[in-house]
Amino acid sequence: MSVSGSATVRNERGIHARPSAEIAKEALKYKAKIIITYDGKTANAKDVLQIIILELFSGVTVQIIAEGEEEQKAFDSIKELIEREYKFD
């Protein structure tokens, strides 16, 4: 089984390096396989560079698929991070 759904990027600057690092760090906490897809491209949510390569600008909607142990918790946490408005100094 797997859990899947969409998330919309709300951060004004999109998902750049720092948010990508936070997403990957969170994804590494789970044994579940977590995939993010956008515009025909697929990224392993545990890989910062793969997330950056997706070029996730503000307002785009991505698909998230989590499969395996704690898949619902993994999906929920990654969705929250993608939809977060980051405030970096």
CATH number at residue 68: 3.30.1340.10
CB 33 within 8 A of CB 87: no
Alpha carbon of residue 10 to chain centroid: 12
By annotation, the residues acting in catalysis are 16
Domain residues for the domain of 57 are 3-83
Q: Is residue 89, in this structure, part of any structural domain at all?
A: no
Q: What is the pLDDT of residues 46-70, one digit of tens each?
A: 999 999 999 999 999 999 999 999 9
In a domain, 52, yes or no: yes
pLDDT digits (tens, 9 = 90+) for 2-45: 999 999 999 999 999 999 999 999 999 999 999 999 999 999 99
Tell me, yes or no, whether 51 lies in a domain. Answer: yes
Count of residues for the chain?
Answer: 89
The answer to whether position 88 is within a domain reads no
| pLDDT at position 73 | 98
> What letter does residue 40 receive in the DSSP assignment?
T
Residue at 65 is within a domain: yes
The total number of structural domains in the chain stands at 1
* Alpha-helix runs per DSSP H in the chain: 17-27, 48-53, 71-83
Task: Tally Cβ neighbours within 10 Å of residue 39.
Answer: 9
